[in-house]
Amino acid sequence: MALRKADQRVSISDSAGVVVDARKLTTREFNVRLHALLSQGKTRITITNPEARHNLGVGLLQGCRLEFEGSVGYYCLSYCDGIDATVKGNSGWGLGDNLMSGRIIVTRNVGSSTGASMRGGEIIVWGDAGARTGISMKGGTVIVAGDSGFLTGFMMQKGRIIVLGDVGSAAGDSMYEGIIYFGGKVKSLGADAKIEPVDRREQKEVVGILMSAGARLEDIPRSFKKIVSKKKLYHYDSLEPLERDRMVI
Amino acid sequence: MTTLKEPDTNEVLSQRIVEDIQVKAELGRYRIRGFSTFQRLVHFDDVMFVARNLTERNSENGTVETETILGTRFAERAIKISTPVYITGMSYGALSRTAKVALAKGAAKVGTATCTGDGGMLTEERRYSTKMIYQLNASRYGVTPQDLVKGDGIEIVVGQGAKPATGGLLMGQKVSAIIAEKRDLPAGIDQRSPTRHPEWLGPDDLGIFVETMRELTDWKVPIQIKIPACRVRDDVKLAAKTGADGIVIDGMQAGTGASSEVVLDHSGIPTLSAIATAREALKEIDLYKKVYLVVSGGIRNGVDAAKAIALGADAVAIGQAAMIALNCNREIPGVTDFDREVGVPAGYCTKCNTGKCPVGITTQDPELEKRLILDEAAVRVANFLDSMTTEMKVITRAVGKNNVHDLSPDDMVALNLEASIMTKLPMVGTQTVPSMTRW
Amino acid sequence: MCGIAAVLYKVQAGDQRHPVGRQLREMLYAMRHRGVDSTGVTVCGESFGTDYVARLFVPGENAVDAKVITEAKKAVMGIGGSIDSISRVGSFFRVGLDFKGDVRILADAILGVPGVEIHSIGRSSEIIKDTGDSYELDRRHDISRLNGTHGVGHVRLATESQVDIRHSHPFWAYPFPDISVVHNGQLTNYHTLTRKLQQRGYRFQTHNDSEVIGVYIADKLSQGIKLGDALEQSLDDLDGTFTYVVSTDSGIGVAKDRWSAKPFVIFETGELVGVASEEVALRRVFPENVERFEPQEHTVLTWNVALAPVIGGRS
């Protein structure tokens, strides 16, 4: 897919900044080092040799610019707020878990549960995404340049997923709100999900988001469709007498 | 003409079942209610303490220690509480704000912990607690890293004893605008939480995720895993192997704000049987007393707590009992009218799911919530916790010990065969436990 | 509760064999956080000096009693086989033997001796599994010195008590030589599957759902069904969560369930393919930054070993 050439487009930080070699550190030492550097105001950090290890960069709650020179494992950059990070490689499960704000770019493929339960910010995947992309999202945006897997957007509450390629089976299963835009095909819809067309205004909006995420206009599908909730599972069909008095304030 | 004073009851098709079938003939689905199971189950009343009389007996040192420390396996700061009972997690949403704050204040007054729930953390909850455990549910409602790190411990909930393998349920009546905003959902919907966590699916991934929580909290606070009591032996071992500091075993007598009756009454195992199995499972992997064990599910008073501790728990957690201390099922003359409001007399109400709680605990209706007066409620909770502590002390002293944590299985006997098999305590009148080749 | 790994070299040059044992050791060590109670490997494509190598396990005090092995030797000879060599590490025995009949007869003869369990019988492969991590497996059983054309491995997080090799993977698919399985996940229709296979005359050494998968696949292969097709059929016949790898004498096959519940990543070049539950295992052995991919759900993939030598050699 054309967008994978975005490798070259991702700006690599210049030599100003700190280099941390993950190979020499345990996970604990690594995270302690990262937090120490950030609290010293050294917020531009390049990480070499991550070697697809787990839990790299957990709980970073201040602005920083991170570059991972290689693949990361599970729960990378989870529980973070205000970060700006790039992973030059693949990611395992749960990338950007519960992200509050900020931006994470992955230049290759990601595993399952990318952006799980995130609340804000952007996760941009230039390759393919695994199953359960954007599961339980409460806000923010996940962009997948390639294809996204099984149960994409499962139990999504708010936010946006934009898939330029194809979406796997059971897409949008049990969504509350939130939208999954897709440029390719959907293998099948999940429970209570439906496909709707995207009008010109919305199309422009999606294109705008993609371009500010670094996509080139010629790589963006001409027309997206979207998956939204049918909202038929919002209520039990029948209620007992005491349950019938609905009170909402 | 019958000479019977009272009509005979059919055991299989009791009055309750008759009503149940009639309602379902209208409803066309399973029924939902709150509270806990109606099943008659083996429970703490089926085991007894036995004092030492002429046999070895401690000196008449009056004081009994109840201080409890949870989380020495890996965490830098274990949770230290004054008494081995704390308030379990109950969601803001299922409970009103006043109820949550009253529980926090009451627990703090006594020097013990409280736990958040499936609705995120309330600022006042953190403010008024001395020790607060942050509960991480499958739903992740209201979860932020900033709040997570404010916990004195983190509880990863695999499930709850009342309704194993199902997620939270909050009916539309209770999804007010405020609750909806807190949970990032449309107001008024019948909210169902996911049953599985979003980023881990099995014990292998959970092991990695426990490390995530540790890194997030800088390895400072205990991480405990809450498991509904089902396949206790396997689950406890797996949870211990993920690297948790503690395990909470929640038996089937536990309560809930709302659940399908099916799961409430027919899934899980009794709390009493879970404790001994959990203890033996930890012993088999050499982690007994290294990984702490909290037991919950129908703990009603200090002697239940003492029995749980004697059987192997380090602490207990209370939910239903705490709510009853708040005012649950209490007719307040001039204020409440249970019969008219919920259709049953006070003492019989299980209608937490409807949001019509006449005493303002399990409701989001501000008019009803006003009936729960915060500071009085907090005092009642503190009093009840104190009563539990005094009961524990009395019974500990009666069996000749000076520290509630010194209570052990040989301080107890079982009153019937089922309890004996479930707890591995000898049945009264015998010295042996019915043997089993594998348990 | 587990981690799985496999490696396969697509082309061999003459008799050259690859350091499969050492690579599996490294991959499994990188995933020990997924389970460190026991570790096991199947090394395939070895050259044995005899018809078969049988890997036997004599648990408990039986091992101390050499009579058990004498009984097993007698059983083999009793059906017309001959023992060429026996080497021993504790309760584990590696037996090189010659036998011209059906492997089922051989296996049943050995299993007829009380106290003996068979870990594998193969013409060109053997299964080594024990408690502890892969480095301990190597220290005790020298797996890093085993070379071949392909292999599979597994790390296990056990729920039973510590010393229980019986439930460790890989599982040999009795009575088919050189077929083994490693599995991550849990089958929910285990009883139905076992019953059907038992009705056809198969027997199982354990009550483990993973063992059933191996026998199921081997049964299909024995009916002439190709490995890829057998794996495809399993996607519908097996209920539950699974990512599993089967090894045969000529290749490996992977199947991933419809729920995408268990992770799996693949790294492939023209020369070899490496698969594992987590990328961290691949990175430990294959450091080049080659793209890896994670198969979507409900997927089957197979690879074969080409034993034809490279250009210039005889065919």
pLDDT digits (tens, 9 = 90+) for C16-71: 789 999 999 999 999 999 988 899 999 999 989 999 999 999 887 666 667 888 89
Is the pLDDT at A9 greater than 50, yes or no? Answer: no
Contact C297 A54 (CB under 8 A): no
Beta-strand relationship, A44-48 and A18-21: parallel
Q: Choose the closest CB to C261 out of B201, B203, B238.
A: B201
Average pLDDT over residues A12-18: 60
Contact B204 C241 (CB under 8 A): no
**Nearest 10 degrees: Cα torsion C194, C196, C201, C202:** -30
Q: Choose the closest CB to C280 out of A73, A112, A128.
A: A73
End residue of a domain, out of C107, C123, C139: C123
pLDDT at A233: 86
Is the pLDDT at A1 greater than 70, yes or no? Answer: no
Return phi, psi of residue A198, to 5°.
-115, 125
**Which residue type sits at C249?**
D
Based on the domain organization, do C112 and C225 belong to the same domain?
no
Q: Choose the closest CB to B216 out of A27, A59, A93.
A: A59
Residues 265-304 of C with CB under 8 A from A: 265, 278-280, 282-284, 289, 291-294, 296-298
Is the pLDDT at A188 greater than 90, yes or no? Answer: yes
pLDDT at B27: 92
Based on the domain organization, do C86 and C231 belong to the same domain?
no
Contact B202 C159 (CB under 8 A): no
Residue A91 lies in a domain: no
Residue A242 lies in a domain: no
Answer for the pair A122, A113: CB distance below 8 angstroms, yes or no: no
CA–CA min distance A221, chain B (Å): 30
Residue A243 lies in a domain: no
Based on the domain organization, do C69 and C11 belong to the same domain?
no
Answer for the pair C94, C12: CB distance below 8 angstroms, yes or no: no
Average pLDDT over residues A159-168: 97
Distance (Å) of CA B149 to CA B195, B220, B244: 24, 10, 17
Residue A120 lies in a domain: yes
Give the ipTM: 0.92
Residues of A with CB under 8 A from a CB of C: 51-54, 70-71, 73-74, 89-90, 92-93, 108-109, 111-112, 128, 130-132, 149-151, 168-169
Residues 14-33 of C with CB under 8 A from A: 33
Residue A81 lies in a domain: no
Based on the domain organization, do C205 and C307 belong to the same domain?
yes
Contact A139 B184 (CB under 8 A): yes
- Answer whether the bond into residue C175 is a cis peptide, omega within 30°: yes
- Whole domain around residue A140: which residue ranges? 109-229
Average pLDDT of chain A, as a whole number: 91
Based on the domain organization, do C93 and C42 belong to the same domain?
no
Based on the domain organization, do C20 and C139 belong to the same domain?
yes
- Whole domain around residue C239: which residue ranges? 3-47+130-313
pLDDT at C66: 75
E-assigned strand segments in B50-148? 68-70, 79-81, 85-87, 113-115, 131-136
pLDDT at C312: 36
E-assigned strand segments in B219-304? 223-228, 246-250, 256-260, 292-296
pLDDT, tens only, A23-33: 999 999 999 99
**Superfamily the domain B35-327+372-423 falls into:** Aldolase class I (3.20.20.70)
Domain map of chain B by residue range?
Answer: 35-327+372-423
pTM value is: 0.90
**Rounded CA gap, B353 and A224, in Å?**
41
Task: List the CATH number of the domain containing C284.
Answer: 3.60.20.10
Based on the domain organization, do C84 and C156 belong to the same domain?
no
**Rounded CA gap, B68 and B110, in Å?**
13
Query: What chains are in contact with C, requiring at least 3 Cβ pairs below 8 Å?
Result: A, B
**Rounded CA gap, B25 and B29, in Å?**
9
Q: Which residue from B8, B33, B9, B7 is spatially nearest to B20, judged by alpha carbons?
A: B33
Long-range contacts of B430-435 (CB under 8 A, 24+ apart): none
Answer for the pair A165, A145: CB distance below 8 angstroms, yes or no: yes
- Answer whether the bond into residue C170 is a cis peptide, omega within 30°: yes
Residue A125 lies in a domain: yes
| Residues present in chain B in total | 439
Q: Choose the closest CB to A78 out of B178, B185, B212.
A: B212
Q: CA-based Rg of chain B, rounded to a whole angstrom?
A: 22
Based on the domain organization, do C36 and C65 belong to the same domain?
no
Q: Which residue of C has its CA nearest to A168?
A: C296
Enzyme catalytic residues of C: 2
Read off the pLDDT band of A13 (50, 70, 90).
Answer: very low
Chain B partners within 8 Å of C169 (Cβ): none
**Rounded CA gap, B246 and B70, in Å?**
8
**Which segments of chain A does DSSP mark as H helices, in order?**
27-39, 200-212, 241-244
Q: Answer whether C81 touches B (CB < 8 Å).
A: no
Based on the domain organization, do C61 and C151 belong to the same domain?
no
Distance (Å) of CA C295 to CA A15, B221, C259, C261: 37, 38, 12, 12
Answer for the pair B354, B342: CB distance below 8 angstroms, yes or no: yes
β-partners of residue C38 are C131, C156
CA B53 to chain centre: 34
For chain A, the domain total comes to: 1
CA–CA min distance A167, chain B (Å): 19
pLDDT at A6: 38
Beta-strand relationship, C150-156 and C2-9: antiparallel
Contact A97 B171 (CB under 8 A): no
Contact B204 C162 (CB under 8 A): no
Based on the domain organization, do C39 and C57 belong to the same domain?
no
Tens digit of pLDDT per residue, chain B (439 long)?
Answer: 667 777 777 888 988 899 999 999 999 999 998 899 988 899 999 999 998 777 766 656 678 999 999 998 899 999 999 999 999 999 999 999 999 999 999 999 999 999 999 989 999 999 999 999 999 999 999 999 999 999 999 999 999 999 998 888 898 989 999 999 999 999 999 998 888 999 999 888 999 999 999 999 999 999 999 999 999 999 999 999 999 999 999 999 999 999 999 889 999 999 999 999 999 999 988 999 999 999 999 999 999 999 999 999 999 999 999 999 999 999 999 999 999 999 999 999 999 999 999 999 999 999 999 999 999 999 999 999 999 999 999 999 999 889 999 999 989 999 999 999 999 999 998 887 775 545 4
Concatenated DSSP letters of chain C: -EEEEEEEESB--TT--B-HHHHHHHHHHHTGGG--SEEEEEEES---SSSEEEEEE--GGGGT-THHHHHHHHHHHHTT-EEEEEEEETTEEEEEEE--S-HHHHHHHHHTSTT-EEEEEESSEEEEEEES-HHHHHHHH-GGG--BSEEEEEEE--SS-S--GGGPSPEE-TTSTT-EEEEEEEES-HHHHHHHHHHTT---SSS-HHHHHHHHHHHHHHTT--HHHHHHHHHHH--EEEEEEEE-SSEEEEEE-TT--S--EEEE-SSEEEEESSHHHHHHH--S---EE---SSEEEEEE-B-SPPTTS--
∠ CA(C131), CA(C83), CA(C167), 5° rounding?
20
Residue A190 lies in a domain: yes
Percent share of chain C, pLDDT over 70: 92
End residue of a domain, out of C123, C138, C165: C123
Chain C partners within 8 Å of A71 (Cβ): 279, 283, 289, 292
Does residue B318 sit in helix, strand or coil? strand
Distance (Å) of CA B132 to CA A195, B111, B294, C206: 44, 11, 15, 46
Based on the domain organization, do C11 and C154 belong to the same domain?
yes
Q: Which residue of B has its CA nearest to A155?
A: B194
pLDDT at A11: 42
Q: Choose the closest CB to C260 out of A71, A90, A131.
A: A131
End residue of a domain, out of C80, C108, C123: C123
CA B370 to chain centre: 26
For chain C, the domain total comes to: 2
pLDDT, tens only, C234-290: 999 999 889 999 999 999 999 999 888 888 899 888 889 999 999 999 988 987 666
Average pLDDT over residues A10-30: 79
Q: Answer whether C263 touches A (CB < 8 Å).
A: yes
Contact C294 A73 (CB under 8 A): no
pLDDT at A10: 39
Residue B242, class by beta-carbon neighbours within 10 Å (0-12 exposed, 13-18 middle, 19+ buried)? buried
pLDDT, tens only, C96-141: 999 999 999 999 999 999 889 999 999 999 999 999 999 999 999 9
Chain C partners within 8 Å of A106 (Cβ): none
pLDDT at B148: 97
CA A121 to chain centre: 9
